[in-house]
Structure 1
Amino acid sequence: MPKVGMKPLRKEQLINATLESIAQYGLQKTTIITISKIAGLSSGIISHYFDGKQGLVDATVKHLLEQLKLALLEKIEQKDLSALERLHMIVEANFTPFQRSIPATKTWISFWAQSMHEPGLARLQHINSKRLYSNLLFSFRQLLNDELASSAAKQMAAMIDGFWLRSALSATPENEFKQAEQLCKKFINDLTQQNGDVTCP
């Protein structure tokens, strides 16, 4: 009889092993065998918990998305944040040490490429993009009129994704990630200052 609490622990082990396997071998060469070896668990347990490799890959992507969500919630849980501070927190949540780690970056890049071919992954990508845009729009609407807020949210979302991708593919990712975060914040500051005369009451 399995011990109480072992299922969540085993799932976490397998998700972490999937991240590591994708970092080492890429998504296409990651198999149930490579994952189980890294996790130190039998390959049968993957089918038991996730119905095979694709189910585990989906769960791993959902884990990345959940970490983004939790990072933001952790940063904005304090009360009375200004809209500008909240925008900075959204940027920081996308550039946390976890999201900059090699397993996470390689998995994200593999996920984006595969989402063009897998409807399930494409749905997760849509959810991710929509969530980022909605969070940005909510804060920009407190600083700008609706038209400018929508434009700013689209630009900022594209900058976050673009800078993140360029940094992940860079020969010096750590430095690039730090600079990317600073440039995203500078864009927010410059935009809100330039359009201070059209802020909403």
Structure 2
Amino acid sequence: MPKIGAEASRKAALVDAAIAAVGRTGTQEVTVARIARDAGMSPALAHHYFGSKSQMLVAAMRHILIRYGESVRQALAAAPPDRRAEAIVAASLDSAHFDRETTAAWLNFYPLALTEPEAARLLAIYHRRLRTNLLHALRPRAGADAARLAETLGALIDGIYLRAVIDARGPVPDQAHRMVQQWLSDALR
């Protein structure tokens, strides 16, 4: 008889192991066997739960996006209306998302999205929500310039992540946060 709740906890362990493995190696070329071993289970069980490595990586992507979305919603709920853009930046560059493993895993989802339709769909949702949230936050303060600022700010956030992974001397969360907040402050003058 299967253990009640075991499937959910095992899937979560595999997703966490996938994020850590991709983050450690910096590539999607990790094996299901490696991920399963890191999660303390057999490759057969990993395949049983996810079917393929791509599906496991998509589940990891979804997990990262869910955590990120929760952070943004909490930040927006706590922010006064005139500080919503700053709240989105703070949530986006929070250390909960800006650790090396999560950042490296996240950036590996971009090439996955080129070949995996579900990954492409999740990435499109992320970009659309980020742009929509920024646009809504910036419109009262930037007027007609809000769309341009939202696009630039979204690209700046993604670029900060890229630089942090590629350059070991790249920005850490506090530096990244200050850098982007300063750009936003200058842009809104």
Name the TM-score, length of structure 1 as normaliser.
Answer: 0.86
- Partner of 1:138 in structure 2? 136
- Partner of 1:188 in structure 2? 184
**In the aligned structure 2, how far is the partner of 1:11 from the partner of 1:171?**
31
**In the aligned structure 2, how far is the partner of 1:76 from the partner of 1:59?**
26
**In the aligned structure 1, how far is the partner of 2:44 from the partner of 2:59?**
17
Larger Rg: 1
**In the aligned structure 2, how far is the partner of 1:51 from the partner of 1:76?**
37
**In the aligned structure 2, how far is the partner of 1:36 from the partner of 1:138?**
42
CA contact (8 A) 1:22 1:103 kept: yes
CA contact (8 A) 1:83 1:140 kept: no
CA contact (8 A) 1:167 1:177 kept: no
- Partner of 1:157 in structure 2? 154
Number of residue pairs the alignment of both structures matches: 189
Q: Unaligned 5+ residue runs, structure 1?
A: 195-201
Q: Unaligned 5+ residue runs, structure 2?
A: none
User: Identity over the aligned pairs, expressed in percent?
Assistant: 28
CA contact (8 A) 2:94 2:173 kept: no
**In the aligned structure 2, how far is the partner of 1:83 from the partner of 1:142?**
9
Deviation string for 1:118-150 (max 9, x for gaps)?
Answer: 3322222111111110000011112122x2111
Over the aligned positions, Cα root-mean-square deviation in angstroms equals 1.7
- Partner of 2:87 in structure 1? 89
- Partner of 1:57 in structure 2? 57
Report matched runs for 1:10-159 at 5 Å. Answer: 10-78=10-78, 81-145=79-143, 147-159=144-156
Q: How far off its partner does 1:3 sit?
A: 2.1
Higher mean alpha-carbon deviation, 47-56 vs 60-69, is at 47-56
CA pair 11-59 structure 1, distance change in 2 beyond 3 A: same
Q: How far off its partner does 1:7 sit?
A: 1.8
**In the aligned structure 2, how far is the partner of 1:152 from the partner of 1:26?**
31
